[in-house]
Amino acid sequence: MTDTATELREAVRRHYAQAARAVEEAGTCGCGAGSCCDDGAAPELGGALYSPSQRSELPDAAVLASLGCGNPTAVADLHEGETVLDLGSGGGIDVILSARRVGPTGVAFGLDMTDEMLSLARRNAERAGVRNAVFLRGLMEAIPLPSESVDVVISNCVVNLSSDKAAVLAEIGRVLKPGGRLSISDIVADDRLSAAERAERGSYAGCIAGALSMGEYEAGLAAAGLEAVSIEPTHEVADGMHAAIVKAVKPPGARAASPTAARASARACC
């Protein structure tokens, strides 16, 4: 990893560690109105994107710690007995909701690199009485789960934070079972915007500067072995930048490529 990539990852880790501490210590996001993810710029982010009935299922701290740009559990069509993986699980809101959807015969994994968020998420799951939620410390560029072990990958405004998105997309393709599906919320850019123009619109830790364009996302997911890719913008968060629902499916007959080959293929796009 380059020094720049290491610095970006550390900046992201500090940003979300601070947000977790703010929730625990002061009962607020700690980043002003809206979401910590977008530096407080847009109100249509965070816990407000979840329905009142969903929020009623959750501890207050899980809702306050929701820093995303969508509600992946609303569109993932989860079924009892499935295995779900939430990349960048934060305070655990999507893991808790997913764990309840898949029931006691299923499991919901949450993966995060920030110790403070993992501690908060585990406490939130305990407060919610959820026993089939498992929180893992690790990187989404190297998911600590076996190949072909997950039915559904979800994520909420986190893939854009990675400094190696090719690795993330390749890892998603690796851990999904044949026939498994991806259903995430993320920030995407219009294809007309260059990387420099995206950076002008917001910070990296604020989920803007690192966003892929729609074309890059589509190409990267295809390179990772996924098909039926769809990207549906839901609302604009900056000029030419959108919160979006990203979906894809791993073909039923597919088998995971080696991580090295998959990353090399996806890196051409991302």
pLDDT in tens, 84-115: 999 999 889 899 999 999 999 999 999 999 99
CA distance 205 to 39: 8
- How far is C-alpha 259 from the geometric centre of its chain's CA atoms? 20
Whole-number percent of the chain with pLDDT over 90: 56
**257-265, long-range: CB within 8 Å, 24+ apart, which pairs?**
257/170, 257/173, 257/174, 257/225, 259/170, 259/171, 259/174, 262/170, 262/171, 262/173, 262/174, 262/223, 262/224, 262/225, 263/166, 263/167, 263/170, 265/170, 265/223, 265/224
More confident residue, 4 or 40: 4
Split at pLDDT 50, 70, 90, the class of 176 is very high
Output the CA–CA distances (angstroms, integers) from residue 82 to 75, 130, 141, in the order listed.
Answer: 15, 15, 23
CA distance 1 to 40: 30
Query: Averaged over 152-169, what is the pLDDT?
Result: 94
Give bridge partners of residue 244 from the DSSP assignment.
186, 233
With contact defined as beta carbons under 8 Å apart, do 182 and 176 qualify? Answer: yes
pLDDT at 262: 56
CA distance 231 to 226: 13
pLDDT at 30: 46
With contact defined as beta carbons under 8 Å apart, do 35 and 29 qualify? Answer: yes
Split at pLDDT 50, 70, 90, the class of 27 is low
pLDDT at 9: 77
Consecutive H or E run containing 2: none
Report helix, strand or coil for 252.
coil
pLDDT at 41: 41
With contact defined as beta carbons under 8 Å apart, do 48 and 66 qualify? Answer: no
pLDDT at residue 163 is higher than 80: yes
Query: Averaged over 147-154, what is the pLDDT?
Result: 98
CA distance 216 to 198: 14
pLDDT at 42: 45
pLDDT per residue as tens digits for the range 198-228: 988 887 767 777 899 999 999 999 999 999 9
More confident residue, 85 or 157: 85
Amino acid making up residue 154: I
Angle between helix axes 259-267 and 165-175 (nearest 10 degrees) is 130
Q: Give the least confident one: 46-55, 180-189, 219-228, 246-255.
A: 46-55
pLDDT at residue 36 is higher than 50: no
Superfamily of domain 3-267: Vaccinia Virus protein VP39 (3.40.50.150)
- Whole-model pTM: value is 0.83
pLDDT per residue as tens digits for the range 126-142: 999 999 999 999 999 99
DSSP 25-62: HHSS-SSSSS-TTTTT--SSSGGGGS-HHHHHTS-HHH
Amino acid making up residue 175: V
pLDDT at residue 80 is higher than 90: yes
Contacting residues for 53 by C-beta, under 8 A, at least 6 apart: none
DSSP 192-239: T--HHHHHHTS-TTTTSTTPEEHHHHHHHHHHTT-EEEEEEEEEEEET
pLDDT at 245: 95
